[in-house]
Amino acid sequence: MYLKQQTVLKERLRAILREQYEIELPALVVEQPPENKFGEFALPLAFELAKKLRKAPRKIAEEIVARLAAEPLAGFASFEVAGAGYINARLQRAEAAQALAKEMKLAPEELAAKPLHALVEHTSINPNKAAHVGHLRNAILGDTFVRLLKAAGNRVDVQNYIDNTGVQVADIVVGLIHLEKMRLADVGALMERLTVEGERIDYYCWDLYARVSQWYEADEAKKAERKQMRLDTLHAIEHGGNETAEIADKIATAVLRRHLETMLRLGIEYDFLPRESEILHLHFWNLAFEQMKAKGVLYFETEGKNKGCWVMQRPGTERAEAEQDGPDEDAKVIVRSNGTVTYVGKDIAYHLWKFGLLGKDFGYRKFFEYPSHSCWISAEEGEADHPHFGDAQAIYNVIDSRQADPQANVVGALMGMGYTEQAARYTHFSYEMVALTPRCAMELGYAVPEEDQGRAYIEVSGRKGFGVKADDLIDKLVAATKSEVDSRHPELEDAERAEIAQKIAVGALRYFMLKYTRNSVIAFDFKDALSFEGETGPYLQYAVVRTRSIFRKAETTAEQALTELAGVEIDGMLDGEENEAIWAVWLRAGKTSLLLEQCIQTAEPAYLAKHAFQLAQEFSNFYRKHHILTEENAAKKTLLLATAAVTQRELVRSLQWLGIDAPEVM
RNA sequence: GGGCGAGUAGCUCAAUUGGAUAGAGCACCAGCCUUCUAAGCUGGGGGUUGCAGGUUCGAUCCCUGCCUCGCCUACCA
């Protein structure tokens, strides 16, 4: 509703500017006034025009308002000049509410103008240890963005990139072979033993990874030897076709499966798992290398520290003419002097594939089953019958901000190859890490040096085994919500209480990760994460539960209540100070599609989280002031019921996009 | 050294990307459950937006300089 009216207003204004002043403004700013008493839209454009027209802003505003008032504009009640030259527009409130009540689905004009085939990559955890809170932020951000893109009408493939042949996996293999003295058969036995004992393989690896990392450094005399073991192991894994690689594959696959299970607890699913092993073995790089050489993106360095390497100019390091003598020491090495390719090189090849520019595809086989679809994994030789991924028009990589540089290198390579359209639709969906507060770290039993105790946060470290595991956090949340539900609803069956607790725990966790904007570091603390009051997921769910309770008692449904509003005369019932709380709900509810658009444009889900919270707040305020079930005026009661209904509809819709499900009772 | 990000209430964060009196939550204080669920609501205190300049009708936001903090900057992956 709101977005549509905003468009109507903008079009009218553009027409007026053309006719009256012969001016075309590239961007017409429409704001939301700080308080509803100023109206629903605020336009500061008179300030901008003042200089061009050499007139006082207030005078210009008056002229425009006169033109706006000259003929009726659909949905608007009035326009006025305010302050030094603001133009405020007021909606015809009853009309707006009636229109919003009818919007059972998102209106077509509020969906993406041009639906795209988008590809979102998120999670991408090294399959060598348990997922931790930082990975949860990644997956929750990515999954939420997927839901937003889909809601706006785009086709979306969800990918989770698996670095199954990297050093981190190699470290675990070194641990199994050299510390635990295991062979392939022993690893199989270990995994069976863990299953029997109900232990998690990813937890086992968490500890082993920390042990190996320390072992590398523990003995000064053996440091070099041990680092060489690590390198040899890595190369064996990369090469494939040997026992070491088989151990790596066995363990990485098992850990990956655990990651999928952990994420599924939060409602997060994937379509495809491309693995580095296939990027290597199917020789994606060879094709990328030929293409890059042919297009002059790579050049062979003959001097300086990078002598003998194929290098690429780093984006943003273009040198002045005068300095162009000698080698570019800032250049990024893509192929080492020993002929092996770096990570960035492989990443470029992978991204050419994502856009369908490589000229080669993965093999595919089924890996994991969800109730509604299968998740596929890359394979050298896949199944004959399979879906096809890649060929995306837009890609979003949910990767933490520390990898901004390598990401920029990939974009730089695409640009250099002339793929400017693809480069423009390449989004590094960057976010800051989740760190721990010093207090939280000490609670977990980690020794925090005195000089670090005053810091706002401490970075987690997989190598030190320092962090909060995802499943531990989810378990803790579920336990806390379960005991709360148990005490509030002793009349319910235990299974039902468990289900409610599960939904609340997920709501709390997902909202916690989404309420911060992407580039703020989350200083994690159990106290905040386990809070269910104030700006939290449960607060939003509670608002929905209250509306459900109302419709149960009124023996109707939200849909019915909204339908019935059409037959009622509500003119005047949304105006005046005594009705402000009612209108505030309708206005906020009408902004959902506007927020959807903003979130996608800025790749920032936090705005929707805030919107949902504000709607819940407006509703709570309304709920206290207006008692629905005891309202005696029939028309008024219909409006109040519809107000609860529109809250429920928009809140449930927003929460669904955030991946949060509201229970029936809580 | 260079690049990126951050610095806002006691704490954790917002601020519609340059707009009206800088807002929320937590914590603290005072109230509100025989009326639709108190995981709630109302009120209160709390701010020189790191510092100093500049740009303009208007700056938390843009520019310059400085201070503090974090991250990135390998022929590691």
Bridge partner residues of A469 (DSSP): A132
In this predicted structure, what is the pLDDT of residue A321? 47
Distance, C-alpha A473 to centroid of its chain: 20
Q: What's the token pair of residue A214?
A: 């320390």
Strand B contact at CB of residue A488, distance < 7 A? yes
Kindly state the tokens that stand for A438.
């010093």
Query: A48 beta carbon < 7 A from strand B?
Result: yes
> Among A376, A358, A431, which Cα is nearest to A603's?
A431
Q: Does the CB of A315 sit below 7 A from strand B?
A: no
Residue A58 near residue A84 (C-beta atoms within 8 A): yes
Average confidence score pLDDT of chain A: 92
* CB < 7 A to strand B: residues 406-435, chain A: 406, 432
- pLDDT bin (cut points 50, 70, 90) of residue A322 is very low
CATH topology of domain A2-91: Gyrase A; domain 2 (3.30.1360)
What's the pLDDT tens digit per position in A97-144? 999 999 988 776 667 678 999 999 999 999 999 999 999 999 999 999
The residue with greater pLDDT, A51 or A236, is: A236
Q: What's the start-to-end Cα distance of chain A, in Å?
A: 31
Inform me whether the pLDDT recorded for A176 exceeds 90: yes
Chain B positions within 7 A of any protein Cβ atom are 3-6, 11-17, 19-21, 23-27, 35-42, 56-58, 70-77
Does position A344 have pLDDT exceeding 50, yes or no?
yes
B33 C1' to A633 CA distance, Å: 26
pLDDT at A413: 94
DSSP assignment letter at A80: E
Residues 534-563, chain A, CB closer than 7 Å to nucleic strand B? 534-536, 538-539, 542, 545-546, 548-550, 553
This model of the complex carries an ipTM of: 0.96
Of the candidates A343, A313, A315, the residue with the CA atom closest to the CA atom of residue A329: A313
Over residues A8-15, mean pLDDT: 92
| pLDDT over threshold 90, residue A23 | no
- Please, what CATH class does the domain formed by A471-657 belong to? mainly alpha
Residue by residue, DSSP assigns A479-519 as: HHHHHHHHHH-TTS-HHHHHHHHHHHHHHHHHHHHHSS-TT
Rounded to an integer, the average pLDDT of A208-214 is 94
Question: Is the C-beta atom of A305 closer than 7 angstroms to strand B?
Answer: yes
Provide the CA A164 to C1' B76 distance, Å, integer: 15
pLDDT at A461: 85
Tens of pLDDT along A591-604? 999 999 999 999 99
pLDDT digits (tens, 9 = 90+) for A280-304: 999 999 999 999 999 989 999 988 8
- Tokens 């956090």 belong to A473
Please say if the pLDDT value at position A529 is more than 70.
Answer: yes
- Considering only residues 332-351 of protein chain A, which place a Cβ less than 7 A from any atom of strand B? 333, 336-338, 340, 342-344
Banded model confidence at residue A313, pLDDT cuts 50, 70, 90 = confident
The pTM for the full model equals 0.96
What residue spans define the domains of chain A? 2-91, 167-250, 471-657
- Residue ranges of E strands in A64-196: 76-82, 86-91, 117-121, 155-159
Judge contact between A252 and A126, C-beta under 8 A: no
Determine if strand B comes within 7 Å of the CB of A56: no
Q: Are A376 and A387 in contact (CB under 8 A)?
A: yes
Straight-line distance from CA A498 to C1' B32, in Å?
32
